[in-house]
């Protein structure tokens, strides 16, 4: 803070002047905000504008005059009125983090400080927290992608095209009816139309070989490869004359770096949970494969311990044109894999499943694995999904070449058409969703008993809220169970002593006791997850029926989650049980007690430490599965909740007549859209428009 030499104020006095002027400006901003709040439709608005337009202009002019005087006062003292400026996007994201914390404090166990919470109130509070967390999370993910232009301006820029008429209609109706839940999908379609070339993204669980596959395509080792969770944010790789890396940050300017610096920002080890607040990573390389215009995307691994990375991947899902989902041949297809394929198909994206690391299987096992996977995918999605064996090992180069020629070759040759087809698929899905939303709107307006439907809707809202609360309840139960698990070490010792006393081998007895008791906990949690999934889908179907849902049927899941890959409890081989003495000649109870004490002394701490580690792994596995359920629940109920809010009058409804609403529905039904042939293999969406 510079000041002229002749100022009579010392440093502390100067600081006080600046702070006071900033405070006055804040109060003036609050005055201005009162005008905005008075014009809003918020049910929480504290103000009504009782000023005439001329009076309001007068007040605003005086506010501007006071600010001018403040600037002159500071300037006269050689002081600056402007602190370090922060982007609005960063400010909003920061405030949303605090909003999320405030929502968290509505949970029942925080509210107990204000008195005992009744069971019915506890269920309602948990549901409120889940719903608000979900909405705040959606906005946070949306803001994490830079969209500085409004949708209408972007539509103007794409010019005339086969999709333009439908997109104009979609944008107009989304704005007209305040259907904010569809704006992100429309922005994603515009992302697809605006860019050049095709975007091919690679998805899969951790260590399925995503980065190795992309490195093989690029002909050089660019992406970090390892068995630990890596790739904190999606990494885009496109063509460039010179190798370079560009990194965009949420709280600072972008940086241009050498490609060798990529692991510093893209790996979980060096950027855990994206603590460096990276928004985008773009690598440019002079690779022949990229010269055609194809952009490759390496995504964070799903189902990993790095849940923040998984969230980045789930947020990115709708943005690509074509997707390859890798499944490790040494394991089996999991619920995470099926959820990823399903989400991609739901977003209108062409999907191929790659059975990776097939070098680990002999030819017979490979064919069996391929047949099983094709059968599983066809049964799950009721349509065939391409499944291709692949390996990056030199001895299996023929499989890699076959995949390139059969799958990638046609895409690269006709990538502009593929990109347009991807945009058309996404547009048709959005059209059908918007049409369903307006039909639901129409059904409410035409209902013979507005009071009756309002009562049913309130009941439906309560049902959804209670069901959402079950997610929070199970989350807390998982925490409680896994925290208590290490305390069961004495129980394992006692059980092992009983088995040893029954003439079992001591080493095997301890291992069996450990697997039995720790495994019981894992099975209990798995059962609870399955029950929750089934319960949520049952509640969703009940609500959709009670409010006369006329949109797409609730079939995102039948509750039959496949909670595979439960972490197996296993004692490390270095824990050795000492040989036992002649305790068996003593009475059964005394012998067991002596063996238990000897085991406790020899391996008690090692068993407790291993149990503690297993509890942490089990907790993370359970919470990852719970997050999957939570995301599916939010996706399934989002449009339904928005309808309920409008039916109950909690959101401002567009003032339109039934005739105008029917006219808008007809516009959606007859607007030219993509040809049927653009629907990709495995697409679960069919046309629902009326003739």
What Rg do the C-alpha atoms of the chain give, in angstroms? 30
Q: From the CB of residue 2, how many other CB atoms can be counted at a distance below 10 Å?
A: 7
Calculate mean pLDDT across residues 51-57. Answer: 79
CA distance 538 to 572: 42
Q: What is the pLDDT of residue 205?
A: 78
Q: Three-state SS across 585-651?
A: HCCHHHHHHHHHHHHHHHHHHHHHHHHHHHHHHHHHHHHHHHHHHHHHHHHHHHHHHHHHHHHCCCC
Maximum mean pLDDT: which of 225-239, 290-304, 557-571: 290-304
Q: What is the pLDDT of residue 649?
A: 58
Q: What is the pLDDT of residue 547?
A: 62
Q: From the CB of residue 238, how many other CB atoms can be counted at a distance below 10 Å?
A: 19
Hey, which residues does 283 pair with through a beta bridge? 237, 245
Mean pLDDT of the chain, nearest integer: 77
Task: Quote the tokens at residue 393.
Answer: 């090992």
Q: What is the tens place of the pLDDT at every residue in 110-146?
A: 888 888 888 888 888 888 888 888 888 878 876 765 5
CATH code linked to domain 195-413: 3.40.50.300
Whether 305 and 620 have beta carbons less than 8 Å apart is answered as: yes
CA distance 415 to 412: 5
**Where do we find the tokens 């009326």?**
690
- Residue with the larger pLDDT of the pair 228 and 197: 197
Strands 235-239 and 278-285 come out as parallel
Q: What is the tens place of the pLDDT at every residue in 78-99?
A: 887 765 556 677 788 888 889 9
Question: Alpha-carbon torsion 607, 608, 612, 615, what sign?
Answer: positive
- Residue with the larger pLDDT of the pair 456 and 628: 628
Q: What is the tens place of the pLDDT at every residue in 252-267?
A: 678 899 888 888 887 7
Nearest Cα neighbor of 225 from 212, 238, 240 is 212
CA distance 600 to 606: 9
Q: What is the pLDDT of residue 558?
A: 42
DSSP character string of 281-332:
EEEEE--GGGTTS-EEEE-PPBTSS-HHHHHHHHHHGGG-SEEEEEEETTS-
Alpha-carbon torsion, ordered 415, 416, 417, 418, to 10 deg: 50
Q: What is the pLDDT of residue 563?
A: 57
CA distance 184 to 187: 5
- Residue with the larger pLDDT of the pair 314 and 568: 568
State yes or no: pLDDT of 536 exceeds 70: yes
Calculate mean pLDDT across residues 151-168. Answer: 69
Calculate mean pLDDT across residues 289-296. Answer: 86
Domain boundaries, the chain: 11-83, 89-176, 195-413, 450-669
Q: Three-state SS across 459-511?
A: HHHHHHHHHHHHHHHHHHHHHHHHHHHHHHHHHHHHHHHHHHHCCCCHHHHHH
Alpha-carbon torsion, ordered 572, 616, 269, 566, to 10 deg: 80
Alpha-carbon 41 to chain mean position? 30
Q: What is the tens place of the pLDDT at every residue in 520-531?
A: 999 999 999 989
Q: What is the pLDDT of residue 161?
A: 57
Per-residue confidence at 560, pLDDT binned at 50, 70, 90? very low
CA distance 372 to 172: 46
Main-chain phi, psi angles of 149, to 5 degrees: -100, 150
Which pTM does this prediction carry?
0.56
Cα–Cα–Cα angle for 102, 107, 113, rounded to 5 degrees: 95
Per-residue confidence at 219, pLDDT binned at 50, 70, 90? confident
Buried b (16+ CB within 10 A) or exposed e, 139-148: ebeebbeebe
State yes or no: pLDDT of 478 exceeds 90: yes
Calculate mean pLDDT across residues 307-320. Answer: 52
**Where do we find the tokens 């946070």?**
140
Q: What is the tens place of the pLDDT at every residue in 376-424?
A: 898 888 888 889 999 888 888 898 888 888 888 888 888 888 888 888 8
CA atoms within 13 A on the CB side of 632: 29
Q: What is the pLDDT of residue 623?
A: 87
Q: What is the pLDDT of residue 4?
A: 46
Distance from first CA to last CA of the chain, Å, rounded? 71
Q: What is the pLDDT of residue 353?
A: 92
State yes or no: pLDDT of 494 exceeds 80: yes
CA distance 318 to 450: 37
The three-state secondary structure class of 245 is strand
Per-residue confidence at 236, pLDDT binned at 50, 70, 90? confident
Q: What is the pLDDT of residue 691?
A: 29
């Amino acid at each position: 803070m510079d000041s002229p030499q002749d100022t009579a104020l010392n440093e502390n006095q100067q600081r006080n002047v600046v702070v006071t002027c900033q405070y006055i400006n804040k109060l003036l901003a609050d005055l201005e905000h009162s005008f905005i709040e008075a014009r809003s439709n918020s049910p929480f608005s504290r103000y009504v504008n009782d000023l005439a337009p001329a009076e309001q202009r007068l007040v605003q002019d005086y506010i501007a005059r006071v600010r001018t005087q403040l600037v002159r006062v500071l300037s006269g003292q050689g002081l600056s009125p402007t602190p370090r400026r922060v982007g609005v996007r960063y400010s909003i994201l920061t405030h949303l983090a605090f909003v999320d914390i405030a929502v968290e404090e509505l949970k029942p166990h925080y509210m107990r400080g204000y008195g005992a919470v009744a069971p019915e109130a506890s269920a309602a509070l948990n549901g409120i927290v889940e719903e608000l967390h979900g909405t705040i999370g959606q906005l946070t993910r949306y803001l994490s992608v830079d969209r500085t232009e409004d949708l209408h301006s972007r539509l103007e820029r794409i010019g005339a095209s086969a999709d333009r008429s439908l997109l104009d209609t979609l944008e107009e109706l989304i704005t007209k009816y305040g259907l904010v839940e569809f704006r992100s999908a429309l922005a994603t379609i515009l992302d697809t139309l605006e860019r050049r070339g095709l975007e091919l993204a690679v998805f899969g669980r951790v260590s399925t070989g995503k980065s190795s596959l992309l490195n093989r395509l690029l002909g050089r080792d660019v992406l970090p490869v390892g068995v630990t969770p890596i790739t904190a944010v999606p990494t885009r790789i496109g063509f460039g004359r010179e190798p370079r890396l560009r990194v965009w940050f949420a709280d600072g300017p972008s940086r241009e770096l050498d490609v060798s610096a990529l692991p510093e920002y893209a790996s979980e080890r060096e950027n855990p949970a994206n603590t460096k607040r990276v928004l985008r990573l773009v690598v440019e390389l002079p690779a022949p494969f990229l010269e055609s215009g194809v952009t490759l995307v390496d995504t964070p691994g799903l189902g990993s311990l790095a849940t923040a990375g998984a969230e980045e991947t789930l947020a990115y899902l709708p943005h690509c044109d074509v997707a390859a989902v890798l499944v490790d041949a040494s394991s089996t297809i999991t619920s995470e894999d099926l959820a990823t394929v399903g989400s991609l198909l739901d977003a209108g994206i062409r999907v191929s499943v790659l059975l990776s690391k097939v070098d680990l299987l002999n030819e017979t096992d490979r064919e069996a694995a391929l047949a099983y996977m094709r059968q599983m995918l066809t049964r799950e999605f009721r349509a065939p999904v391409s499944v291709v064996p692949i390996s990056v090992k030199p001895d299996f180069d023929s499989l890699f070449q076959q995949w390139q020629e059969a799958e990638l070759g046609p895409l690269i040759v006709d990538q502009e058409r593929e990109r347009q087809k991807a945009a058309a698929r996404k547009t048709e899905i959005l059209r059908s969703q918007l049409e369903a939303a307006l039909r639901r709107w129409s059904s409410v307006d035409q209902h013979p008993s507005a009071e009756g439907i309002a009562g049913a809707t309130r009941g439906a809202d309560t049902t959804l809220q209670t069901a959402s609360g079950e997610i929070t309840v199970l989350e807390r139960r998982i925490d409680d169970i896994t925290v208590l698990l290490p305390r069961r070490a004495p129980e394992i010792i006692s059980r092992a002593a009983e088995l040893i006393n029954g003439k079992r081998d001591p080493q095997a007895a301890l291992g069996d006791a450990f697997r039995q008791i720790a495994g019981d906990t894992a099975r209990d949690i798995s059962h609870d997850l399955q029950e929750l999934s089934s319960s949520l889908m049952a509640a969703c179907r009940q609500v959709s029926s009670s409010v006369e849902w006329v949109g797409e049927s609730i079939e995102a899941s039948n509750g039959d989650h496949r909670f595979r890959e439960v972490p197996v409890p296993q004692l490390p081989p270095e824990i050795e049980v000492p040989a036992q003495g002649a305790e068996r000649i003593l009475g059964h109870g005394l012998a067991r007690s002596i063996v238990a004490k000897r085991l406790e002394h020899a391996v008690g701490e090692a068993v407790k430490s291993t149990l503690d580690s297993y509890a942490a792994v089990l907790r993370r596995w359970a919470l990852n599965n719970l997050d999957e359920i939570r995301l599916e629940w939010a996706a399934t109920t989002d449009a339904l909740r928005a309808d309920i809010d409008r039916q109950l009058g909690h959101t401002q409804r567009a003032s339109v007549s039934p005739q105008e609403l029917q006219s808008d529905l007809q516009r959606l039904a007859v607007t030219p859209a993509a040809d049927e042939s653009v629907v990709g293999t495995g697409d679960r969406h069919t046309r629902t428009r009326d003739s």
